[in-house]
């Protein structure tokens, strides 16, 4: 069981500005978006869960 097969490197997931380039057209944008979502799906799941938990914690702690 190799964790790197499931989780992609966070430095690859957040490459900074050097990793971004504007697509030439909408079709290229669509292909890159789908490819990115499939490749980093576990990273997005972990990030989304963390944001959801953090938002719930902040909301609950503000009501106390």
| pLDDT tens-place string over residues 2-53 | 655 677 777 777 766 676 788 899 999 999 999 988 888 888 898 999 999 9
3-state secondary structure of 20: coil
CA 27, 33, 34 angle in degrees (round to 5)? 95
Under 8 Å between Cβ of 43 and 10: yes
* Tokens found for residue 47: 């990030």
- Dmax (CA) of the chain: 50
User: What is the Cα–Cα distance from 14 to 11, expressed in whole angstroms?
Assistant: 5
Instruction: Give residue 4's pLDDT.
Output: 58
Which sequence spans correspond to the domains of the chain? 21-64
């Amino acid at each position: 069981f190799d964790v790197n097969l499931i989780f992609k490197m966070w430095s690859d997931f957040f490459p900074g500005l050097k990793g971004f380039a504007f697509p030439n057209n909408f079709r290229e944008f669509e292909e890159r978006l789908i490819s990115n979502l499939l490749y980093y799906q576990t990273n997005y799941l972990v990030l989304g869960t963390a944001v959801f938990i953090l938002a719930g914690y902040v909301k609950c702690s503000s009501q106390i």
